[in-house]
Amino acid sequence: MVKIAVLLCTKNGARYIQEQLISIAEQNIGEIDLYISENKSSDDTSRIIEKFAKNNKNINIIFLNGMDLHFANNYVLLAKSIKKVYQFYAFCDQDDIWLKCHLERGISCLEKIEGKKALLHCSRTMLINENGKKIGKSQKFIKKPFFQNALVQSIAGANTMIFNKEAFNLLIKISSNTRIVSHDWLLYILVSGSGGEVIYNQIPTVLYRQHDKNIIGSNMGILNKIKRLVKVFEGEYRDYNLSNFDQIESVNALTIQNHKIYKYYKESINGNIFLRLFYLFRSGVYRQSIFGQLGLILSIFITKRRFIK
């Protein structure tokens, strides 16, 4: 029987976490160990989890006290605490719902790939409101999920990600000593950059709840596109890049070819505008949409905050 570790970080999630726990317990594949990092909730989150664990012996829940840091740091620290080796791993959020086939579908896709390399399965999500009513789907991406895309864009949320032990070994190499921008984005970068394979599935198996306490929303709609463009002008995406660069170099897992691509893209942050444009196009990096690609090119003209070596 396939052994799976599910990683869940919680913080004041009492309103919805029962539904998520039930959906995890109802998965139709494997033997699941659910690792929960509880980050100083002031509501009944801990009590709900403890009661669920007592009444559901078909799932093994390992309950840990988190450090209540940035959400991405919490997940990386939780991963680092796992000493047992599993065949597959999955992230999940406290307020979503998994379809019963979620793990089975992802693992089945990964098991078809030959060779010992890092593998990552991710997908679109079905958006639901606070009451669980379906309100749409997350953005659908068409272009292949390669390293040139990963450097400049995260295409799927961690709540959809299922990955093998080789990808997990990359995840736990991420430094948690500084603020991590996004653990899912970094995992996409590291898996694709190391010569691994990323599968993006357009059919959702996660119901992604939209509410006012979401740390990161669905990023859908014109308003969110404008907000992302404002971040480009403010230099926020440049700061994201610098953070990711530090992690890429710390983990040090890129293939020779992908290291060249990375160096070209990194050079597009430096120098005058002409050199930046030259290295941007030389790197071959791309975003999934025309709007996103235009924003990427536009970011070259933003005044740089600091020179990087």
Domain containing 278 equals 221-299
Q: Is the pLDDT reported for residue 121 higher than 80?
A: yes
For residue 36, give the DSSP letter. Answer: E
Q: Do 186 and 228 fall within a single domain?
A: no
Q: Do 28 and 133 fall within a single domain?
A: yes
Q: Do 168 and 79 fall within a single domain?
A: yes
Residue 15 domain-assigned? yes
Q: Do 170 and 52 fall within a single domain?
A: yes
Q: Which two tokens stand for residue 228?
A: 């992302």
Closest by CA position to 124, among listed 149, 146, 100, 99: 99
Q: Is the pLDDT reported for residue 221 higher than 90?
A: no
Q: How many domains does the chain have?
A: 2
Q: Do 234 and 101 fall within a single domain?
A: no
Domain boundary among 151, 178, 209: 209
Residues with Cβ < 8 Å from 81, sequence gap 6 or more?
35, 37, 64
Is residue 200 classed as helix, strand or coil in its secondary structure?
strand
**Residue 199 and residue 105: Cα distance in Å, rounded?**
12
Across 165-187, average pLDDT: 96
Residues with Cβ < 8 Å from 35, sequence gap 6 or more?
5, 6, 7, 8, 62, 64, 78, 81, 82
Q: Do 234 and 204 fall within a single domain?
A: no
**Residue 184 and residue 203: Cα distance in Å, rounded?**
19
Domain with residue 178: its CATH number is 3.90.550.10
Q: Do 111 and 226 fall within a single domain?
A: no
Q: Do 169 and 44 fall within a single domain?
A: yes
**Lowest pLDDT segment from 57-61, 188-192, 235-239:** 235-239
Q: Do 201 and 227 fall within a single domain?
A: no
Closest by CA position to 101, among listed 33, 19, 26, 31: 26
Whether the model pTM is above 0.85: yes
Across 33-62, average pLDDT: 96
pLDDT tens for residues 49-87? 999 999 998 899 999 999 999 999 999 999 999 999 999
**Residue 204 and residue 15: Cα distance in Å, rounded?**
23
Domain boundary among 209, 237, 253: 209
pLDDT number for residue 74: 97
Who wins on pLDDT, 284 or 304? 284
Across 82-102, average pLDDT: 98
- CB-based contact 189:145 (threshold 8 Å): no
Across 227-244, average pLDDT: 72
pLDDT number for residue 37: 98
Residue 281 domain-assigned? yes
Q: Do 191 and 117 fall within a single domain?
A: yes
Residue 275 domain-assigned? yes
